Amino acid sequence: MAIYIDGFNLLKSKGFAGDKVSQMEQLLNYISKLFPKSETIHLVFDGFKAPIRNEYSFIKIHYSGNKTADDLLVELVKKNKKPQIAITSDNELGSRLIKLGTTVKKNSDLKIPQKAKEKEKIIPFDSHLFDELYLLNNKGLL
């Protein structure tokens, strides 16, 4: 099964913080928790290559260059003969993909599996440690 994701469309719907590169890396991390590593994920972005770190071998990043990400995503789907799923909340793109026999899911359909949520470690905030680090930093000791 091949999975195609409309990158900036999904990114905008998640409200990640930081600059564009940071948001793209957060999106990669989010996607890594959604799908089994046995799947091949095609993450498609508008524009040219961004300096993001992709630590996930099962996520392939594609940049559209001078064309739209929508057009590149449709081209990629047409080249693949396997059953496919696409993730986008762009209705026009969704219609194009459905005509090609692709199952289309909305961004809101994506939920992180409970197992992945349990793996996330929550580190309690220690205000005393923060104060000490702040003071050391101000004194130039860090």
Sign of the Cα torsion 22, 26, 28, 29 reads positive
Q: How far apart are CA 46 and CA 76, in angstroms?
A: 14
Contact 40, 60 (CB under 8 A): yes
Q: How far apart are CA 5 and CA 90, in angstroms?
A: 11
Q: How far apart are CA 30 and CA 33, in angstroms?
A: 5
Residue 135 placed within a domain? no
Residue 94 placed within a domain? yes
The whole model's pTM is what? 0.75
Domain of residue 88 covers 2-114
The number of distinct structural domains making up the chain is 1
Each residue's pLDDT, cut to its tens digit, for the chain (142 residues) gives: 889 999 999 988 888 888 888 888 998 988 888 887 878 899 999 998 888 888 889 999 999 999 999 999 999 999 987 778 999 999 999 999 999 989 999 988 887 665 544 455 555 556 666 667 667 777 776 6
Report the CATH number at residue 52: 3.40.50.1010
Give the pairing of strands 84-87 and 40-45. Answer: unpaired
Residue 49 placed within a domain? yes
Residue 139 placed within a domain? no
